[in-house]
Structure formats: structure tokens, C-alpha cells
Amino acid sequence: MQKHHTKPQHPVTKTEHHCPSCNTAFNGRYCFNCGEKAFHESDFTIKKFLAHTLDMFTHLDGKFLRSLKYLFAKPGFLTHENMRGARVKYAKPVQLFLLANVLFFIILHFAPTTDYTPGLGDEHYNHLSDYPLLKKLAPVDTAVVQYIGKVTDEKFEKTHLSPQELEDHFLINSRIYSKSFLLLLVPLFGGIVYLFNVRKFKYFSFSLIFAAHFLAYQLITYSVSSLFIYKFKIPIWRPFTYLFFETPIAPVSQFLFSDPFLFVNMLLWIPYLFIAFRRLFPEEIKAVTLVKTYFIAQIFFFLTFGFYKKLLILLTLWLMH
């Protein structure tokens, strides 16, 4: 009897039956060992390429837009979803943080500010020492400022630049390095949050997720408000600072928030953090959550504009050429 051979629809290659990445036999559309997708020759056509490209952008945009919506509309929701393992529908925490980082540095070109990208001499901003409860840190702060001054003098001698030239050169480098160094704020803030919630967060990584989400919110709100203040010259916080610092309640405001700059940050941070903690820990007494939120926000402010800002100045001086 004559044998009949059926011609395959398309050339069969090893990669159709075995994973090209780890050589494991496929059992379905994806490799169970490494997650590589099984492919066919048709996957390399222009039509497929364009379809995959379009799908990638729409898929990412959908994730980011959905995540941004919940980031602002439901504080703490994204962290809660991550903690319970529901992650496919949302952008990853670090992705959101990096998106906020990019937005921040784009807006920085239109609204120059040195709160997160310090200029030379900003080490004299000594909020860390001015706050009444932290007066004991004044000697440490003074020593750090003196050391920065010493490093700056050494840079003058080495570069032979004029004060204005060195200041301009420093600011350019500060903006470059701060794009990477902002990432240091995630473990810094995550550590503070974890210390206050060590019995509630099962893993330290949960506090890092929370920190990434909060800092994404913080950078975006800071960027947008800076655009209004420095680019469009609209003092959006002036009504609040007037009400709390130029009326009879000023003494209370000064005791709780020291000055308008700290107050504006607390105005953005405390309500957001309080709602986020309530969503994550609904069983906690509200008064306890409020007090905890106040101290977390205060500590993070001083670490950001005291410790981190001075650290960034030092790192920039050491690394700039």
C-alpha cells in the first residue's frame, strides 16, 4: 500500500516545540519554566509586528491611566491591591514612581525650583535645626554645613572657576544626578512607614510599595503646583498660608508646622497619608492613625529637606567634573 504524507501548513522548527530561551518543551502558548511565548512564522510578519506594537502601547497606557486614577482618587488603594496580589491591571509601583520622576524633570525646565534639585549654598537651609522639638540636632547640622563648605572650597581650588561659574556648573550636575538619587527616597520613606507599622506590614517590601506610590503622588502634585507658581505666577497656596500664618491662629500654626513651606507640604501629605492608612488599616483607631500620620509626615519632611538635600549636595560636589 502506498503511503501518503501530509505536507505541513508551515515549516516546523524546533522553536515551535521548545522554548528558544531555556529549551524547555512547550506545553501550551507559554513556557512554564521561564514564561517565553511560543511563536510561529506568522508572528514575524509586518502586520503582526504592528499589531503587537499597538497592543503594547494601549496596554501600557491603560495600566498607567488606571493607576494614576486610583493614585489620586483612592489613596492607599494601589498598595492594598499589591498586598493582596492583584497586580496585573495596574502599573508597577516603581514604574509609577519613574513616570512621576520623568514628569518632574520635564516640568523643571519650565518651572525651575531647587527643592529637590538643590543649588550651591542650599545647605544653609537648616529646617532640620529650626524645628523646636529637634533643637538638639543643631550641632550635627552645623557640622555638616561646615563640611560642605570645606568641600566647596576644595572644588574652587581644583576647578579654578569663578563663584558664578561653579554655581551654574553645580546646578547642571545637580539636576542630572538628582534624577537617579530621587530613588533613595523610596527606602528612606519606606523605612519610616515600616517603623510605625511594623506589626501591620507582614513584609518590609509592602512599606516600599507604599512609599513608591506616595512619592509618585508627591512628585506629581509638586510638579503641577510648581508649574502654576513659577511658570504662570499663580500663588495657589497663598490663601492657605494667609489663613494659617497671618490671622489669630498663627501661633498654633507655627507650633505645629513651623513655617509656611512646611505647612504647604503637610497640607498635601497629611490628608493623603491619613486616608491611605485608613484604607490599609481600617481597624486602627482614627486618632492613633492621625497622630501617626502627623509624625511620619514631619519626619519625612526633615529627612527630605534636611538629610537628603544635604546628601545630594555632597554627592554632586564629589561627582561633578
Q: C-alpha grid cell for residue 284?
A: 486602627
**Does the structure show a pLDDT above 70 at 280?**
yes
Residue 54: pLDDT band with limits 50, 70, 90: low
Dist CA 101 CA 246 (whole Å): 34
Q: What is the pLDDT of residues 224-258, one digit of tens each?
A: 998 898 888 899 999 999 999 999 999 999 888 88
Q: What is the pLDDT of residues 55-112, one digit of tens each?
A: 655 555 678 889 999 999 999 999 999 999 998 899 999 989 998 988 888 887 777 6
End-to-end CA distance of the chain: 84
The predicted structure's pLDDT at residue 106: 85
In the predicted structure, residue 269 carries a pLDDT above the cut 80: yes
Instruction: Report the pLDDT value the prediction gives residue 212, as an integer from 0 to 100.
Output: 97
What pLDDT score does 131 carry? 56
Of residues 266, 262, 223, the one with CA closest to residue 113: 223
pTM of the model: 0.79
Q: Does position 315 have pLDDT exceeding 80, yes or no?
A: yes
Would you list the domain boundaries of the chain?
Answer: 14-44, 53-319
How much is the pLDDT for 1? 47
What SS3 state is found at 174?
Answer: helix
Cβ-based neighbour number of residue 316 at 10 Å: 24
For 252, residues 6+ apart whose C-beta sits below 8 A from its C-beta are none
Rg of the chain over CA atoms, in angstroms? 26
Q: Residue 57 corresponds to which cell in the numbers above? A: 502601547
Query: How far apart are the C-alpha atoms of 296 and 134, rounded to whole Å?
Result: 15
Given a cut of 80, whether residue 309 has pLDDT beyond it is yes
CA-CA distance, 318 to 181, in Å (whole number)?
14
* Distances, alpha carbon 221 to alpha carbons 72, 217, 314, in Å: 10, 6, 27
Taking the C-alpha atoms of residue 88 and residue 59, their distance in angstroms, rounded to an integer, is 11
pLDDT in tens, 165-209: 988 888 888 888 887 888 999 999 999 999 999 999 989 999 999
pLDDT for position 127: 52
Residue pair 317/155 in contact (Cβ under 8 Å)? The answer is: yes
- pLDDT-derived band at 130, boundaries 50, 70, 90: low
